[in-house]
């Protein structure tokens, strides 16, 4: 095998001894063997580092941080050390199915117009898969509401990461992956292969369980940040309206007329900026209007 791998897998790990062996094994078992696995030990106080270093496979590389800096800063450390043509993220408690790397690699090799590709993830344990929209213009619109795609089930061109300095903005703490993806979507087209490639482990120790409210607060910042694509600097009242509308949270301060005026403003602004497909944005906003109005009726 040549010294420079085709694919770099970045895996931050903090106190992950319970699951990390299964995660590492899932990468080693890939049908495509031309990769490096960069494990960034984020100041673990358990045996995570020892387990990772027990592998004699030269493709497994461990970076030990003397103290914890956080998941996304640790991912940034990993990105700075990649040597592959493509980069994919993986969490130290999840599982990549055997054909994940090969599937994504072949897609990006055959479709040079896309900068990144996603696969489908499934909650684990469980059997709920998340089949997703593959149209780039629709994906951009759907990210207005939420972190629509599983970042850990994607692969991106390393050249674009370097060109655009695509590192995680650590100020978003528990929603840095959401902000990273929104930024990436503004820079190059992405697509989705509706093929199950990743098992997302659900357990009580993960950030989305322990820091659910904090994560949603940072995600709100990302939702509001995307108003810059419309050229809108919202007032505090508009921030409240926009978030309630997108999230379908009934608020007695908001009525149908306010929603209609906000939709009109977003469509008018996008008509000038031309960032989103006007038709797809319009469909999205009117669908959310229907959901919000019905939510208000239910609340009454």
Q: Are the C-beta atoms of residues 223 and 246 closer than 8 Å to each other? A: yes
Q: What CATH number does the domain containing 16 carry? A: 3.90.550.10
End-to-end CA distance of the chain: 66
Would strands 190-201 and 86-89 be described as parallel, antiparallel, or unpaired?
unpaired
Residue 160 lies in a domain: yes
Cα 293 from Cα 300, distance rounded (Å):
11
Residue 189 lies in a domain: yes
pLDDT tens per residue, range 77-132:
999 999 999 999 999 999 999 999 999 999 999 999 999 999 999 888 777 776 78
Cα 136 from Cα 280, distance rounded (Å):
11
Residue 208 lies in a domain: no
Tell me the percentage of the chain whose pLDDT exceeds 70. Answer: 94
Ordered DSSP codes for 169-186 = -GGGGGGHHHHHHHHHHT
| 155 and 270 fall within a common domain | no
In the listed set 183, 203, 223, which residue is the last one of a domain according to the structure? 203
| 244 and 285 fall within a common domain | yes
Cα 91 from Cα 94, distance rounded (Å):
6
Report which of 113, 84, 80, 124 is spatially closest to residue 101, judged by C-alpha positions: 84
Ordered DSSP codes for 35-93 = EEEEEEEES-SSSHHHHHHT---TTEEEEEESS---HHHHHHHHHHT--SSEEEE--TT
| 289 and 186 fall within a common domain | no
| 262 and 174 fall within a common domain | no
pLDDT tens per residue, range 43-81:
999 999 999 999 999 999 999 999 999 999 999 999 999
Residue 140 lies in a domain: yes
| 60 and 140 fall within a common domain | yes
Domain total for the chain?
Answer: 2
Cα 139 from Cα 184, distance rounded (Å):
12
Structural domain harbouring 246 = 231-299
| 155 and 65 fall within a common domain | yes
| 98 and 247 fall within a common domain | no
Residue 222 lies in a domain: no
**Other Cβ atoms within 10 Å of 159 Cβ, number:** 12
pLDDT tens per residue, range 247-297:
988 788 888 899 999 999 999 999 999 999 999 999 999 998 888 777 664
| 131 and 87 fall within a common domain | yes
| 147 and 283 fall within a common domain | no
Cα 145 from Cα 288, distance rounded (Å):
10
Residue 25 lies in a domain: yes
Residue 24 lies in a domain: yes
Rounded to 5 degrees, what angle do the CA atoms 137, 289, 297 make?
150
Q: What pLDDT does 1 receive?
A: 46
Q: What is the average pLDDT across 226-232?
A: 98
- How does residue 207 score in pLDDT terms, banded at 50, 70 and 90? low
| 237 and 123 fall within a common domain | no
Residue 216 lies in a domain: no
* Alpha helices, H only, the chain: 20-28, 48-53, 71-80, 100-110, 136-142, 158-163, 176-185, 207-210, 212-225, 236-247, 256-273, 278-299
**123 has which bridge partners?**
200
Cα 106 from Cα 46, distance rounded (Å):
37
Cα 166 from Cα 158, distance rounded (Å):
9
In the listed set 203, 221, 239, which residue is the last one of a domain according to the structure? 203
| 147 and 30 fall within a common domain | yes
- The sign one gets for the Cα dihedral 57, 59, 60, 62 is positive
pLDDT tens per residue, range 146-190:
999 999 999 999 999 999 999 999 899 889 999 999 999 999 999
| 185 and 44 fall within a common domain | yes
* Residue 280, CA distances (Å) to 138, 222, 283, 288 in order: 6, 20, 5, 12
């Amino acid at each position: 095998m040549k010294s420079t791998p085709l694919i770099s897998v970045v895996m931050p790990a903090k106190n992950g001894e319970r699951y990390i062996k299964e995660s590492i094994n899932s990468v080693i078992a890939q049908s495509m063997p031309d990769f490096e696995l960069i494990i960034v030990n984020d100041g673990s106080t358990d045996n995570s580092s020892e387990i990772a270093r027990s592998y004699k496979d030269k493709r497994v590389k461990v970076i030990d941080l003397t103290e914890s800096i956080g998941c996304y800063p640790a991912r940034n450390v990993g990105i700075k050390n990649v040597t592959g043509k493509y980069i994919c993220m993986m969490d130290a408690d999840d599982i990549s199915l055997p054909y994940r790397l090969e599937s994504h690699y072949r897609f990006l090799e055959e479709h040079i117009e896309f900068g990144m590709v996603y696969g489908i993830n499934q909650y684990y344990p469980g059997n709920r898969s998340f089949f997703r929209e593959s149209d780039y213009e629709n994906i951009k619109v759907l990210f207005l509401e939420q972190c629509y795609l599983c970042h850990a089930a994607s692969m991106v061109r390393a050249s674009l990461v370097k060109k655009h300095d695509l590192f995680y903005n650590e100020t978003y703490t528990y929603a840095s992956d959401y902000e990273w993806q929104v930024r990436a979507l503004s820079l190059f087209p992405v697509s989705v292969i509706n093929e199950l490639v990743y098992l997302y482990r659900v357990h009580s120790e993960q950030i989305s369980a322990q820091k659910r409210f904090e994560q949603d607060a940072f995600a709100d910042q990302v939702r509001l940040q995307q108003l810059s694509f419309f050229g809108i600097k919202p007032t505090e009242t508009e921030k409240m309206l926009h978030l309630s509308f997108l999230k379908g949270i009934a608020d007695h301060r908001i009525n149908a007329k306010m929603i209609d005026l906000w939709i009109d403003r977003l469509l008018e602004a996008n008509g000038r900026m031309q960032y989103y497909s006007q038709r797809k944005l319009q469909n999205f906003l009117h669908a959310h209007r229907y959901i919000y109005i019905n939510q208000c009726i239910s609340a009454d």
